Structure 1
Amino acid sequence: MTEERLPNLELWPVGNCQVSGLIDQTGALVWGCVPRVDGDPLFSSLLNGDQRDAGIWRFELEGQVSASQEYIRNTPNLVTRLEAKDGSAVEILDFCPRYERSGRMYRPVAYVRIVRPIAGNPRVRVVLKPVKNYGAQVAETTHGTNHIRYLVGPQALRLSTDAPVGYIMEGRTFRIEKDTHFFLGPDEPFVGNVREQVRSMEQATRKYWQRWVRMLAIPLEWQEEVIRCAITLKLCQHEETGAIVAALTTSIPEAADSERNWDYRYCWIRDSYYTIQALNRLGALDVMEKYLSYLRNIVDGARGGQIQPLYSVMGESELDETTASYLAGYRGMGPVRRGNAAYKQIQHDCYGQIVLPSVQGFFDTRLLRMADSHDFENLEQVGKMAWAMHDQPDAGLWEFRTRQEVHTYSAVMSWAACDRLANVAEHIGKTDRAKLWRERADAIREKIEAEAWKENGEGGHYGASFESDYLDASLLQMVELRFLSPENDRFKQTFAAVEEHLRRGDHMLRYAAEDDFGAPETAFNVCTFWLIEALHLAGRDAEACKLFTTMLSHTTQSGLLSEDLDYETGELWGNFPQTYSLVGVINCAGLLSKSWSEVR
């Protein structure tokens, strides 16, 4: 593989909350799964290693010398402009249909592409080679006069087009003389004129997203950055169930050749909590309502028992971890994992992360369905688990695979669960239950103060666990969770210790101690945003703004971030786009922006 052909994370997400795709810098669709985000990758070129001509959909402009890209304002509809040496040029418009039709949201398993001649006499070759069984086979095809069927699994997909089907089948280059339309979707006859229907779909999809953005309560500054992150977070929700995935990809390594390759196409209770919290601050109530429905189903299924750290978007509990042997991995850095063994782990912070977003359902009168006493009783079952497990060992939020301790973050989340249940009980008039949950919250607080605080000759700090005094960045969340105030001396000492031991220039490690795979090699982007928040709380706003500007300089051209960043080279690593990281952009922009009142 030549240096020019190395995959990178300069990717542009498109989607409709049913399926999603990632477009690379050349306008090629290099990643996309069907029939949903955790399904079989129809397009897998991103993880094909050297074999990048399978699992891909691209338009090759004859004599191409440049490419440029931008989203249509306030939408995930992408325009890629390809230019040739002779001045010829085309634009590729990518989108996945999403709009209301017949009283419900139309969001088919479909990718739509429009190729438009812009200048000269452009000649294009269409390379469309979907794969199946995680890259094991290129899909077989059959075709008709105006369509091609791709047998990608139990159900085929059909390409309906007004381009010459024979040219596509034979891989021939042909002149693009008018707008040419491609609809890859369900295997059923395309109703209506392809040109008119596809154009109508794009206009309706554009209107949907621009109206959705119009309802957001955004900060005065960094508006474009916040809007792009908000749109992308919404794309990470599987609307059918309300689940929110941690990222759209699997197995992008956290660092080069680290084998820290994980499948993030699932709903982590923790990650979703942070996503909902950020979008709720922007007023995106529709995402929260759907997610609360998903949570209620998870709680019902647990029947008062243990909650897993993650589930499939359909709520499936078993996510057995295997490897896809036919995919070489990102830049050949395998393995490519399917499933995630973390579902078997014990992570006690998840109880708090169910309670905290659910609590809003009892207070927010905007909701179509407000929570009631029956919901409170169900939520108490989660609280009982938080109380029972607050001082028990777990794998922690960083999902250690070979050791367990009583992690401070998990204990604080258990405290938050009990504290918020007390608030709800008071609100709905259950005085006796309020007393019980307040007593439990106070008892957990005492335990944390006694066990997590580590004295040393210079004062002390909270440790990442009860058993040891090492530090991790999650300790900075003690203020966000309202366990401590920013003025608390113990928090100030802990912040100073975390910054000293985990900060690497403008970036933050999640922890510095060796884990199951050795010492961490990259910064964890959300932890850098937690550092920025802590700097703001400490009154160091100038420094916080400087670091925030630095983080924004590391975003892709699409305005997004992955999970990790090499703090020496600035290169992005880890799954993409990472919801944690986008949440950090939204939260910090809200904290650091000037007020709207300053310009009114």
Structure 2
Amino acid sequence: MIGDCHCVALVSRAGSIDWCCMPRIDDDSLFGRLLDWNKGGFCAITPVDPGYTSTRRYLPGTMMLETCFRTSQGEVMLYDFFAMEDDALEHPRFDHVRIVDGITGEVELNVDICPRFDYGEIIPRMRSHDSGAYTAIGSNKGLIICCNVPLDVVEHRDLSTTMRVSKGQRIRLMLEFQLPELIEAAIAGGLPDAARIDRAFEHTQAWWTDWAGRIRAPFEVDEQTLRSAITLKSLTFERTGAIAAAATTSLPESIGGQRNWDYRFSWIRDSVFTVRVLHDLGYVREADRFHQFIERSSAGSADELQIMYGVDGKRRLTEIELDWLEGYRQSRPVRIGNGAAKQLQMDIFGELVEMAWQWHASGHPTEPDYWTFLVDVIDAVCERWQERDHGIWEVRAAPAHYVHSKVMCWAALNHGIQLAQDNSFEAPVEHWTRSRDLLRQAVETSGYDPERGVFVQTFDNRYLDAALLLMPRVGFIAYDDPRMLRTTDAICSELDRKGLLVRYNSPDNLPGTEGVFLPCTFWLVACLACQHQRERAWQYYERALGCANDVGLFSEEFDVDHRLMLGNFPQGLTHVSQITARLALAAMEGSC
């Protein structure tokens, strides 16, 4: 993945852009071969020699991808990045730059640019201009394409050429998003020359390395932790402060299955996890921006709060199936939007108040307007905690009394009380205290299996849920409480699949199966580390790290039998959880 805190693209090992959404991460795709090989569109720079090999890496501390192609005739480097200037966050350029450098010998490359707008439904009209630019226009989107070698227009829809790149030679290709009505004026304003594109390379590298260089951690930051932090930054939408859960839609949780969802939105829960981790690493600004985003998007009212928003704050995320797309490896349906947006998931109340508590505990003031919003949230918990909800996993079945949701409601009340007392804020503390105590009693009776001595997924059943591993995080129970130790052991016993965890062992009313859920394994690592189970914690951590791809990116899930990534990619929650686990391991080692 490459990104610029506004838009994203996925680049394959073969040098093909198979997924690209501009100017926003949740926009309609411009290249979408990821979801339909024939209809989706792509932009490929690939050696002609079928026997080529490729290796990839990110330039250190950046979101700039370097792909090395080797053939029997020579070697070239392909660089992919979104250009970023000093003011890139406030004034994004939406320029995807591709640079090919000849390293040794001479390599023949095929260049094919086949944009397909609106998830492959629109084939834009391609034309060349006297200025040397090419444009692709369709519906409300346009691309300006510039290259320092001539390209052939194919049937007014594609661009193509074959070129030879020798040692010391540099080829520059730039894809600039532009609104169709502004394209002529943009071209008239001048095309980027070689010097400008080369400066963009240098400025982008400097921007990312400066951001990465500000990381602060209580251990020597390893490559994976740094990569996770940079990935999380790339999933932010700078204009609003929102944080997308993932860069893609409809990558399946099982190949050929129907568990295919759109994750390009900002979930409150996932985003709170992210800002907490970024704050712990020294990135305070991102946390403050997300506070503002949530207050705006919810209209400052608990009644208007929903579990996720568009990255621009949009509330209506209607779920639609795109029946013209075959799906990733024939995994239908392809969906855009997300019907879970209207579910009741009461754990988000706890996450919001927990985030405010962490913000306060780290020395930041709680503004009066935000406190008014929090009081509304906490009052809503008092009124609604006895309701059933759909839980952290957004189960598309009848609502239930999920223990994790109840614990997070308890956390909302507990931290709300602490915030009110620490700041001498006006609040119905006695009422909140009564509700908090009733919640604890309900969880410790109906949410606990006395026969096995463990907490369970929902009231009065025996199923287990990896989300129970999060209970000590908010202070509901101590990590070393015997009940928590037994619950952790039971989860390891019943949810472990070849050394990694699935989410739960209950039926969920959805067809098919899914892989192991990588964030859960990292939650287990953090739990084991806090229980000082050193050997087990490191073993699970190393196994989970082995599920990253060649450049350190994680998906949501993983097929342990076939060693395949599953679910949307890269998944922010997995990267957040990896950092959380690593921080817990560092704390454990420091206390030994």
After TM superposition, the structure 1 = structure 2 runs for residues 307-346 of structure 1, keeping only pairs within 5 Å, are 307-346=305-344
2:417 to 410, 413, 422: 422
Distance 2:203 2:589 in 1: 31
Following superposition, the deviation at residue 507 of structure 1 comes to 0.8
Aligned position for 2:57:
70
CA contact (8 A) 1:263 1:339 kept: yes
Opposite residue 425 of structure 2, the aligned amino acid is K
Distance 1:427 1:282 in 2: 25
Distance 1:432 1:258 in 2: 49
Following superposition, the deviation at residue 426 of structure 1 comes to 1.4
Q: Counterpart of 1:118 in 2: which secondary structure?
A: strand
Opposite residue 73 of structure 1, the aligned amino acid is P
Aligned position for 1:399:
394
Distance 1:124 1:67 in 2: 13
Structure 2 unaligned spans of 5+: none
Following superposition, the deviation at residue 436 of structure 1 comes to 4.1
Q: Counterpart of 1:47 in 2: which secondary structure?
A: coil
Aligned position for 1:479:
472
Distance 1:496 1:122 in 2: 56
Distance 1:482 1:239 in 2: 32
CA contact (8 A) 2:532 2:588 kept: no
Distance 2:480 2:538 in 1: 21
After TM superposition, the structure 1 = structure 2 runs for residues 533-544 of structure 1, keeping only pairs within 5 Å, are 533-544=526-537
Distance 1:83 1:275 in 2: 38
Distance 1:596 1:194, change over 3 A: farther
Aligned position for 1:559:
552
Distance 1:219 1:139, change over 3 A: farther
Mean CA deviation greater in 244-253 or 385-394: 385-394
Following superposition, the deviation at residue 85 of structure 1 comes to 2.2
Distance 2:18 2:205 in 1: 23
Q: Counterpart of 1:121 in 2: which secondary structure?
A: strand
CA contact (8 A) 1:147 1:165 kept: no
Distance 1:476 1:364 in 2: 24
CA contact (8 A) 2:457 2:463 kept: yes
CA contact (8 A) 2:375 2:427 kept: no
Following superposition, the deviation at residue 192 of structure 1 comes to 6.3
Distance 1:332 1:593, change over 3 A: same
After TM superposition, the structure 1 = structure 2 runs for residues 78-89 of structure 1, keeping only pairs within 5 Å, are 78-86=65-73, 88-89=74-75
Aligned position for 2:353:
355
- Give the structure-1-normalised TM-score: 0.91
CA contact (8 A) 1:27 1:59 kept: yes
Q: Does 1:41 align with 2:29?
A: yes
1:445 to 422, 440, 444: 440
Q: Counterpart of 2:172 in 1: which secondary structure?
A: strand
Following superposition, the deviation at residue 164 of structure 1 comes to 1.5
Distance 1:499 1:518, change over 3 A: farther
Q: Counterpart of 2:141 in 1: which secondary structure?
A: coil
Distance 1:322 1:432 in 2: 43
CA contact (8 A) 1:126 1:173 kept: yes
Distance 1:500 1:115, change over 3 A: same
Distance 1:486 1:59, change over 3 A: same
Following superposition, the deviation at residue 393 of structure 1 comes to 0.4
CA contact (8 A) 1:245 1:268 kept: yes
Distance 1:66 1:291, change over 3 A: same
Distance 1:377 1:110 in 2: 41
CA contact (8 A) 2:396 2:510 kept: no
Distance 1:108 1:573 in 2: 32
Opposite residue 359 of structure 1, the aligned amino acid is W
CA contact (8 A) 1:220 1:595 kept: no
Q: Counterpart of 1:300 in 2: which secondary structure?
A: coil
Q: Which runs of 4+ in 1 moved over 6 A?
A: 594-598
CA contact (8 A) 2:90 2:239 kept: no
Opposite residue 90 of structure 1, the aligned amino acid is V
Following superposition, the deviation at residue 463 of structure 1 comes to 1.7
Distance 1:502 1:555 in 2: 21
Distance 1:509 1:315, change over 3 A: same
Distance 2:358 2:586 in 1: 25
Following superposition, the deviation at residue 381 of structure 1 comes to 0.6
Aligned position for 1:251:
250
Distance 2:90 2:198 in 1: 18
**Residue-by-residue CA offset, 1:453-479 (whole Å, 9 max, x unaligned):** 2221xx422221114221111111111
Mean CA deviation greater in 333-342 or 91-100: 91-100
Distance 1:319 1:568 in 2: 35
**Residue-by-residue CA offset, 1:180-227 (whole Å, 9 max, x unaligned):** 222211331264652111111121111111111111113535610000
CA contact (8 A) 1:130 1:152 kept: no
Q: Counterpart of 2:68 in 1: which secondary structure?
A: strand
**Residue-by-residue CA offset, 1:305-337 (whole Å, 9 max, x unaligned):** 152221111111111111122321111212111
Following superposition, the deviation at residue 80 of structure 1 comes to 1.0
Identity of aligned residues (%): 28
1:121 to 95, 98, 106: 106
Distance 1:120 1:373 in 2: 66
Distance 1:597 1:112 in 2: 44
After TM superposition, the structure 1 = structure 2 runs for residues 477-556 of structure 1, keeping only pairs within 5 Å, are 477-518=470-511, 520-556=513-549
Distance 1:151 1:192 in 2: 18
Distance 1:432 1:172, change over 3 A: closer
Q: Does 1:112 align with 2:97?
A: yes
CA contact (8 A) 1:393 1:405 kept: yes
Aligned position for 2:173:
182
Q: Counterpart of 1:69 in 2: which secondary structure?
A: strand
Q: How many matched pairs?
A: 576
**Residue-by-residue CA offset, 1:80-126 (whole Å, 9 max, x unaligned):** 1112222x222111111223239x63422221111112222333221
1:93 to 46, 56, 79: 79
Distance 1:171 1:520, change over 3 A: closer
Following superposition, the deviation at residue 484 of structure 1 comes to 0.4
Distance 1:283 1:36 in 2: 26
Distance 2:450 2:559 in 1: 33
Aligned position for 2:208:
209
Opposite residue 525 of structure 2, the aligned amino acid is I
Aligned position for 1:21:
9
CA contact (8 A) 1:18 1:238 kept: yes
Following superposition, the deviation at residue 142 of structure 1 comes to 1.9
Could you say what the CA RMSD is over the residues aligned between the two structures, in angstroms? Answer: 2.2
Aligned position for 1:60:
46
Distance 1:561 1:89 in 2: 29
**Residue-by-residue CA offset, 1:338-373 (whole Å, 9 max, x unaligned):** 1111012111111112222233444544x6xx4322
CA contact (8 A) 1:167 1:173 kept: no
CA contact (8 A) 2:126 2:153 kept: no
Distance 1:402 1:486 in 2: 31
CA contact (8 A) 1:160 1:194 kept: no
Following superposition, the deviation at residue 278 of structure 1 comes to 1.8
Q: Counterpart of 1:79 in 2: which secondary structure?
A: strand
Q: Counterpart of 1:197 in 2: which secondary structure?
A: helix
Distance 1:596 1:271 in 2: 27
Distance 1:535 1:170, change over 3 A: closer
Mean CA deviation greater in 157-166 or 240-249: 157-166
CA contact (8 A) 1:307 1:350 kept: no
Aligned position for 2:224:
225
- Give the structure-2-normalised TM-score: 0.92
Following superposition, the deviation at residue 304 of structure 1 comes to 3.5
Distance 2:192 2:239 in 1: 29
Distance 1:530 1:363 in 2: 23
